[in-house]
Structure 1
Amino acid sequence: MSDNTTDASASNPTTEIAIRPLSDLTELTLTQEFLDAYEVLDPGAQVELYAELAEDGIELNLSHLTRVKVPTGGITQFQITDEDNVEQAVRELVGVPLQVLDRRSMWLRNLDDAEGEKGPPDCSSRDGKVGDGLYGVGSERHPSGECMSCPMNARGSAGTGTAASKCKAQKLMFLASTQESLPVIVSIPAASLANYTKFRVGGSIKAKRRSRGPREIKLTLKKAKNARGIEYAEIEFAATGREFTEAETTVVEVFKQHMAVMIKENQAALDAMANAAASHANGTGEFTESEGPVPFGNESDDDGLPRDEVKVTSSSSRK
């Protein structure tokens, strides 16, 4: 373990991180291929960007990041929405995951019948393990608040005549994309979680045969059909096989830390994004229905992808 990382308590699996300024990375020798592909991970370019924003009195936060969703109806192009709510469609995403978070949202009402604003969920979870709300910790309906044993996570609890659960699980992937100058936030809906888990498990096995380091991945969409004959799209994950130098690996790890800081400082905004993504998925076409409750388990950190939980010790300057 490096000098700037310390273990949290045994009961808390999160990792405490001391943050290294991006300006420290500008002296590293990075390949031109890396710099051409990853403006989002170019230390010099990012330091300049933060300086320009600071001059305009702007502090970068999650609201400035582009959001990526899976569209309804089996469309196999990602729906990308920038901070100005301008939408575009792309067939694939390529990049390095910086953070991956679990989220859960549950509405008792049928969102297909909702008009206007969906409103906040009746119960939600920031870690995918413990809920807060109607079925959260200390509640009358489910005192333990544990998502795994929650009746709203039970098979068929959605009441749609399928195996889908009422509580909608998702992951939020913060991806350093080759197509963008800032990280993008990819909402991975319930129907794609099995694909993600399979990809991670395979990556963990392969990682035993190679040196650990960042992992460049490609995301595409594949048309599928649920038990009721409704078409939707699933995200497919694949490794590109790209190798990173030691210096490039250092850069990626530091950017992961800075992403963790931004997440910690923007929890309310993150909750709103997660709930919006879940209501979007829940309200049209049922394209996120999975075949039953989403399983739980500890995922390995040996596959080149980030751990799902990161605890940062400070929010020191990103410059």
Structure 2
Amino acid sequence: MVSRCAPSVQQLESFLALAEELHFGRAAARLFVTQPALSRQLQALEERLDVLLVQRSRRHVEITAAGEALLPKARAVVEAMAGLCRAAGAHARQVDGRLVIGSIGAEAAMPYTRAILDELHTRHPRLRTSVRGLDLATHFDALERGEVDVMFLRPPVPAGIETLPLASEPRVACLPADDPLAGRDEVRLAELAGRTVVDIPPPCPRVWWRFWAADPRPDGSVVRYGPMVPDMEALLLAVSRGEAMAFLPAAARHFFPRPGVGYVAVPDLPPGTAALAWAARNRALPTIAAIRQAAAAVLRQAPAAR
């Protein structure tokens, strides 16, 4: 129970300002109050504590011995109250509820994804999250329909979806292991002209798959599409059977080694980007704002990882 003599934080702040300035006018200006208001706060504090804190005269302000003895405790109380307010504010800003996170390919296992989810859980421990693996054909559709709230994916994206770029990496050619080029360290894009590329069925936006198929080629040549594959396993199976090839992020070497499949660097192929994505209409929702902010914080902490 708080004693009836307990001073207010405002009274203690008035005392601290006066002790540092030793001038009523400067202390009042610092606190954005009038001098009479500052005098009343100090008088009320002295009455509550039943001790004289300041010796006043028209030209001189002096802190009494009792005031000097109480200064550290007054400062500690003010700092503790400020800390309490900060903690309460941080708690009030925590987001609860549920966030469904989509992921394609190996995005859920990438370092930036793990770092962002760790940061999100640190900031909002009451927020429940779940991660859903999505196939290549319908991942944008899942975001548009609200089956997932946000997604770790590989741009480009269709209209209506916003992204925060997270990292970039080279793309590689995914070839049948018996392809004459599969044993090379690298190939030029022109050397792959005429090879059939796997296709993705609707509702996948063409703007996305044309980028990943390198269509059109720099020389204007037409890309010939082959079998439609809805997901990564179907894509890799089609490649291993010699039905077609594909272009994938370089991380596929590590995450998707398969019998009958080889990966070859393509130095003149523009790199791909990884991003966090959300429907533009939902960007201000508290849960989506929370993961966007967590991602931005991770990028600020480790800019070299981008």
Same structural fold, with TM-score higher than 0.5 when normalized by the shorter chain: no
Choose 1 or 2 for highest CA Rg: 2
Could you say which TM-score interval applies, normalised by the shorter chain? under 0.3
Which one has the bigger helix percentage? Answer: 2
Higher relative contact order (CA 8 A, sep 6+): 1
TM-score normalised per structure 2: 0.25
